[in-house]
Structures are given as structure tokens and as C-alpha cells.
Amino acid sequence: MKEPLFTDDTIVFGILALCIGFVFITSTSTHASWKKFYNFMPAVLMCYLLPSILGSLDIISDEHSNLYFVASRYLLPASLVLMTLSIDLKAIANLGSKALIMFFTGSFGIIIGGPIALLVVSLISPESVGGNDFDAIWRGLATIAGSWIGGGANQAAMLEIFQYNPEKYGGMVLIDIVIGNIWLALLLLGVGKTKKIDQWLKADTSSIEALKEKVTTFTASITRVPTLNDYMVLLFLAFTSVGIAHLLGNNLSHLLINSFEWISDKKSFFSFLGSSFFWMIVIATLIGIMLSFTKAKNYEGAGASKFGSVFIYILVATIGMKMDLTKLFENPGLILIGIVWMGIHALLLIIVAKLIKAPYFFLSVGSQANVGGAASAPVIAAEFHPSLASVGVLLAILGYVVGTTGALFCAYLMEIASKI
């Protein structure tokens, strides 16, 4: 493992801040060339790509940094609280069933995409899909299915169930990260072309627009010049909630693991209930929802969701550090499996979205609730509007629930495909 130029997280964080600052300064520039550039390249995608380029050049590295851990464990739950302060549950319910349809379409795409990808690549590169016993490629791919339908807990469950050779597991992690992050980048690119995509899909966006308009009207009615007191209260609301989410999440996961064998067993369908990260996300979201029924929701007028967006952009930059573009060429066969697999997932989402006239918002968030989980689903959702971040979280939580069952089904189909 090559050591990057900068390993001190204080310096690395400064570099990420520089990237984000550069993007926001140039994206708001009145210069014609910058305007033309950002018409094609959304600002959030640039906040993702710049760290990935620096990582690929060995200037910084996620493997030598704890910044993603900090951003996902501290800033993500804080942003969820701040972005759900003014949530309108009734308006979200009015979004209808298309969000769920697109989510389950994404899950189904992962389930059938795995075995189809194996069959396709076996015709081109048979050596890439072989292996015997615990070296069998399908066993390793089962862990990716767990990650792409549910999350880290479901991925660990698949590794425990199918006992893939630990020495070769790194290759599967590579597909998970590289292909998953390329797909995230493409989805972010699409955010800048949402209107055109929705027109092509002939999508009915009225419910989404109604929610955005309702939130915007409410925000306008309570907007004020924020004071130091407002900022300190937002700090209190965000990070006290993070502390509570960690306290309850850690204790609850330990209690469940120690009390119930069907949760402590990593092979169990319910093993995700033993994940402290899962409970941290759930509890932070619930705290935000509860605060929305109090006067705390008026702090949206002091910029609560804007602070939440700051944390989200930092998270995006740390996710970008995970994407090492040079690794695309390390194992072409495995990467090809991942590309075909994700292509099937994407194609199925596009077909169903076209048939039911679902907006691009539902397509992208439904996909990331599967592939990216709770860390990136809110990122995509918040790009459409901060008030929509909670939709991404709720769908990601659903992904944890169905992840193990879906991944098991996918794994058994891949085992059959590998023997054809």
C-alpha cells in the first residue's frame, strides 16, 4: 500500500475544505466559462470528484484517514436532525407509492443482476468467474449483493454465511467501492439534468413540487437574520442529538446482541439489528421527526437545513476519497462483472420509471437507498431539496431490513449461474 503525500487528517480536512470552497466559489461565479461548466457538471459532483482525483494521485487517501468515519458517524446524524426539523410527514406521505416501487425495483435489479453478470462475463472471460469451494467467485459476489441491497451489516452477514476466502475478499471490496462510487457519480451528474430526464420519463413531479413549495413557503414565513444564540441552539440540537443517537444506538445494539441469539448470529436475517450504525441513523432521524412537532422547527428560519447541507457536502468529499480511479485497471474481469451488474440495476430502474412515469428523484434515491445505504441516499435526496433528505433515510433503513434476504436469494442464483 503506497503512502499518500498527506496522512495527517488535519491537513487532509483542510484539503477537502479547499476543494469544497473552490467548487462553491466557482459555481457561483458570473464568468461565462464557469457558468457553462457547471451547467454540465453539478457542484455536488465536483465536491465528490476532486477528492477522488487527489486520492488517485496519492496526494490523500481514505485508507490512511478517519475522516469518512467522523463524517458518517458524527456529521451525517447531525445533518439528518437539522434537515428533518421542519419535516412535513403528511406531505411526504403524499409522495405516494412510486418511491417504494422504485426502491424494490432497485433491489430486484441487484438480485437478478448478479447471476446475469456472471453468465455474461463467463462468455468473455471464463477465468474471472471460476473458483472452487471457498474460493468460488459467486461466494465473494454474495457479499457485494449484501452491501448493495442493504449495507455493511448485511455484507458482513453474507461473508459469514458463505465463508469466502478472506485473502481474496479485498477484490470484492474493490468492486463494491469502485462500481458503487462510479454509479453515485453518474446519479449526481443526472441531478443537474433533472428537468430533461423527467420530461423524457413523462414523470408526474407534482407531489414533489408541492412538498418543496410547502417547505419553501414555511421557511420564508419564519426566515430571520440568525443571531449567535440561534447558531448555538442549532449546535445544541444537532450534536446533543448525535450524542443521544450514539448512546442509545450503541447500548441498544449491545443489548440486542447479548440478549437474542437470532440477532447475534451474523447468519441471521435479523443480524442488521445488531448494528450500532443502523440504530444511530434510526434514532437521529426519529429525534429530528419529534423535534418537528415542537417550536424547534422554527429554527429552519435560522438556517437549520443549510447547516445540515454543509455537513452533507463534507460527507460527500470524504466519500469521494474512497474512489481511487487507478483501481479500475487492477482486476478487469471483476470490474466487468460489477459494471454489467450495475448496468442491469440501472436499466431496470429506467424501464420501470418510464412505465410508471416516476420522477428521476425516485429513481436516484431508490437506487442509492440500495447501493449506497444511509450514507449516500440522503446526499442524493438533499440535492433535490433539503426537505427530501428524510425520504432517502427512510428508504435506506428499509434496505437494511430486506438486505439479507435479497442477498441470499441473489447468492443462490449466482451459485446456479456459475455452474451453467
8 Å CB contact between 85 and 297: yes
Return the CATH class of domain 9-418: mainly alpha
Query: How many beta carbons lie within 10 A of that of residue 122, not counting itself?
Result: 18
Distance between terminal CA atoms of the chain? 37
Tell me the pLDDT band of 345, cut-offs 50, 70 and 90: very high
Domain spans of the chain, in order of start: 9-418
Q: What is the average per-residue pLDDT within 339-345?
A: 94
Of 321, 256, 240, nearest to 77 by C-alpha is 240
Q: What is the average per-residue pLDDT within 363-382?
A: 84
Give residue 43's pLDDT: 81
Task: State the DSSP code for 2.
Answer: P
- C-alpha–C-alpha distance, residues 220 and 256, integer Å: 44
- Residue range 231-240, pLDDT digits in tens: 999 999 999 9
Q: What is the average per-residue pLDDT within 109-133?
A: 84
Query: Is the pLDDT reported for residue 242 higher than 80?
Result: yes
Buried b (16+ CB within 10 A) or exposed e, 313-338: bbbbbbbbbbbbeeebeebebbbbbb
Torsion of CA 242, 246, 248, 252, to 10 degrees: 150
Query: Is the pLDDT reported for residue 112 higher than 90?
Result: yes
Give residue 268's pLDDT: 66
Give residue 153's pLDDT: 65
Long-range contact list for 87-94, CB < 8 A, 24+ apart?
A: 87/288, 87/289, 87/292, 87/387, 87/390, 88/211, 88/214, 88/215, 88/218, 88/292, 88/387, 89/289, 89/292, 91/210, 91/211, 91/214, 91/215, 92/211, 92/390, 92/391, 94/207, 94/210, 94/211
Lowest mean pLDDT among 71-85, 340-354, 366-380: 366-380
Q: What is the average per-residue pLDDT within 292-316?
A: 89
CA 173 to chain centre: 16
CA distances from 226 to 220, 372, 375 (A): 14, 34, 29
Q: What cell was used for 286?
A: 426519529
Q: What cell was used for 216?
A: 419553501
Return the sign of the alpha-carbon dihedral for residues 320, 361, 363, 405. Answer: positive
Of the ranges 70-84, 197-211, 266-280, 344-358, the best mean pLDDT one: 344-358
Q: What is the average per-residue pLDDT within 111-137?
A: 83
